[in-house]
Amino acid sequence: MPTSMFGQVQPYAGDPIFKLVDQFHADPHPDKINLCIGVFTGEDGKIPVLDSVRTAHERVGFGQRPYLPMEGDARFRDATQRLAFGEDHPALGDKRIATMQSLGGSGALGIAADFLAKHAPGRTVYVSDPTWENHHGLFQRAGFTTTSYRYWNATERALDVAGMLEDLRAAPEGSIVIIQPVCHNPTGLDLDEASQKAVSEVVRERRHIVMFDMAYQGFGTGVDADAAFVRRHSALYPGCLVATSFSKNFSLYGERCGALHVVCETASEASNVLGQLRLAIRRSYSSPSFTAGSLVGSVLDDAALNHQWRGEVDAMRARLEDMRAGLVERIEAQAGNVDVSFLSRQRGMFAYTGIRVEDIRAVREDGLYLLDSGRISVAGLTTRNLDRVATALAHCFRSSPS
C-alpha cells in the first residue's frame, strides 16, 4: 500500500513538442536552431509586437480590470464574428451565431468538445491524418472516440482528396468532422475551392457536424480569402462550429485569446446555444481575459487600426513566403535531382518535409531541431540560418529513398 494519498499517480510522459523545445533550450550547441514550435518570429528571432496592438494597448491603458461576462467582451465577440464570417454573411444579420471569447484556439476547441459531448453525444470525431495532435486529446478528454480520415499522401507528398471524400462518406451519419480550412497543421496543404465544395456536399449528405479549426487566418493568402471555406460552408449548411485563434495573427501568444462560433438555424437556437456555452465556461474557468479581448476587439472594431493590422498580417505572411522560397531554392541547388517542389505548394507556418525520423534525429546532433514528423516551423528561418538549414535538409533528402 502506498504511504501517500497520491502515491499511485503515474508520471506524465510530456508533450512531444514541448519536450523537444526543452531539449533545445538545454542543448549547449552554440549555433542551435529551433524549428519546432509554431510561433512567428521576425528576422531578429523575436516575437514581434504589432504596432496596431501596441496602439490598442495604449488606448486600453491600465485602468480597472473587472470580470468579463462568461461569454467574453461584447465588442470582441461582434468584431470576431465579422472577421470570421464577413460583413454580409446571412447568419450575422439574422443573429444566428453564438459566439464566445475563449482561452486561445485550444480553449475554443475544448469548450466545443464539452458542448458537443453534452448535446451530440456518442458520435465519432474524425480528424485529418496527419493533424495537430491535440485534436485527439481535446476530444478524447470530453469522452469522444477519435479516428482519422485520409488527407496526406506520403508517397506523392500531396493531398489525398479522393481518400478524404471516401472516408467521410463511409463515416457513420452525424459524425463530427474537424477540418482545418487554411494553413493546415502540419502539412501546409489546403483544399482548393472545388475540393472544399465536394467536402461540404458529402457533409450535407451524411449530416455530419463540421468543427472548423481556423488558427492561422491571414497566413495563407489573405485575411478574407483564408476564411472563404468557412464563410461558404456555414452560409449553406448551418449547424457547424468554428474555433479561431489570435495567437499568431495578432502575435498575442501568451494572452491566450481565441473565439468559438456556433452557426445555428435560428436566432432563438443561437440564444439557447450561447446559454449552454456560458454554462460550460462557468464550470471551467468562469470568464476569459479582459486584456486579450480588449486588445483584439479594439483593433478589429477601429477602421484605421483594422487596416493597419491587416497590413501587418500581410507582412508576416510575406516573410513566411520569402523564407519558404529561399529554403526550396537552396535545397534544390544542393539536393541534385531530388524533387522538393512540393514544399513550394505548402503555405503558412509549416513545411512538411517527409524526411525520415533517423535523419531528423541525426541533424539534431548538429543543433538543428525539427519534429520527428518532419514538420518545420518556417517562421524559425532567417537569412542568417537559411543556408545551414538547407544544407542539412538537402543531405537528408539525398539520403532518403525516393
User: What are the residue numbers of the active site?
Assistant: 132, 213, 248
| Host H or E run for residue 153 | strand 152-153
Give percent helix, percent strand, percent coil of the chain, each to the nearest 5: 45, 15, 40
Helix axes 386-399, 357-364, angle to 10 degrees: 140
CB 392, CB 366: distance < 8 Å: yes
For the record, the C-alpha cell of 320 comes out as: 513566411
Phi, psi of 42 (to 5 degrees): -85, -175
The CA-to-CA distance between both ends of the chain, in Å, stands at 55
Half-sphere CA count of 351, side-chain side, radius 13 A: 28
Residue type present at position 245 = S
CB 147, CB 124: distance < 8 Å: yes
- CA of residue 299 relative to chain centroid, distance: 21
CA 222/CA 310 separation, integer angstroms:
8
Reference 105, options 181, 203, 189, 24; nearest CA is 181
CB 261, CB 99: distance < 8 Å: yes
User: What b/e readout covers 51-90, taking b as 16+ CB neighbours within 10 angstroms?
Assistant: ebbebbbeebeeeeeeebebbbbeebbebbbebbbeeebe
Surface-to-core class of residue 137, CB atoms within 10 Å of its CB (0-12 exposed, 13-18 middle, 19+ buried): middle
For the record, the C-alpha cell of 224 comes out as: 478574407
Distances (CA, A) of 368 to 322, 376, 389: 20, 10, 7
